[in-house]
Amino acid sequence: MFIKLTLLCFIKFNTMVNKKNVIILGAGSIGTAIGNSLAQSEDLRISLLSVEEDVVESISKEQINQKYFPNIRLNSRLQATSNELVLQDSNIVLLAIPSVAAVDYLKNINHLLPKDAIIVNLAKGFGCGKRLITDCIKEQHLNPICTLKGPSFAREILSNIPTAFTLASEDDKILDEVETIFKNTNLYIDKSNDLEGVEILSILKNIYAIIIGIVDAHFNSPNLRFMIFTKAFNEMRKIMMVFGGKEETMFKYCGIGDFGLTALNDLSRNRTLGLLIGKGFFTEDISGKVVLEGRIAMNVFLEKLSDQNIDPLEYSLMRELEHVFSGNNDVSGFVNKLLKY
């Protein structure tokens, strides 16, 4: 009897030791949703690391994120903490905080990260010096890096709806290792070695979602919507390839999938901005208060494309959107100009 108990304890201890430690930086909507899905696996230890003490407390005491998902009970295996020392035992670290803070925060906790811990970027936007976040991370950290992007609304993930992501890394071994944490969850993965292309598309899709929103609000025509959608898709492809992305990436979940979700669903913030413009409700007062990825990213891309002397016809839709943000409120004229290209 003693031998059996000892053996059982050993097996249980060995199983706990072999579990992968997955730390999610940020307990906002997407971090909480993905963490809750990963917590379905008994082979993982999932911790949300957050600076929001009220969020940590509500998850720890009630197993509910009252700030982002009130009254939705989370998986009992999902833990939350504000103690950064939890990073010392991490195997995989998911970066799920806003793009404006992502690079600096990761730099500040670099001394706590094991050198072989894999960093997975979920943040969408530019980082240090208007550069891709993954480029900034590679410059500051020796850790393996990959990115995770796809057509995903956090609330649907939390509702256990099947949801797709593209996982990208230049190293196939890293891809295979990270992919294992999504097995037996509601998260489905396709893989890519085009790290830059996946990152670029995650920013571009916000810009072109605004354009689709403007068109839909003013005309509500399926024919016109998908005509402009196709033009936008092709323009995204050209710009992505200018900056080193691969054409095939357009047909991953991070490409046509994420663009379709962001451009055509009213839960999208950037599409909503386009709808406001198309309906004539957009003002400088609103634009000054609502900080959206699409508008910020548009200015960065226009600057970069101009610096490279790229023919403006290659990004004509984006240029016309810039004119709208500069005060041109003639939406009918905006659409007519899009049709010329």
Contacts of 274 by beta carbon, 8 Å cutoff, 6+ apart: 209, 210, 211, 212, 213, 214, 215, 216, 217
Measured distance CA(211)–CA(229) in Å, rounded: 9
Check if 252 is active-site: no
Catalytic position from the list 124, 149, 205, 252: 205
Contacts of 217 by beta carbon, 8 Å cutoff, 6+ apart: 274, 275, 276, 277, 278, 279
DSSP 27: -
Whose tokens are 């940020």? That residue is 26
Q: Helices marked H in 279-330 — which ranges?
A: 284-289, 293-307, 316-325
Contacts of 253 by beta carbon, 8 Å cutoff, 6+ apart: 149, 150, 151, 164, 165, 166, 190
Contacts of 330 by beta carbon, 8 Å cutoff, 6+ apart: none
Measured distance CA(47)–CA(32) in Å, rounded: 10
Measured distance CA(210)–CA(76) in Å, rounded: 39
> What residues are annotated to the active site?
205
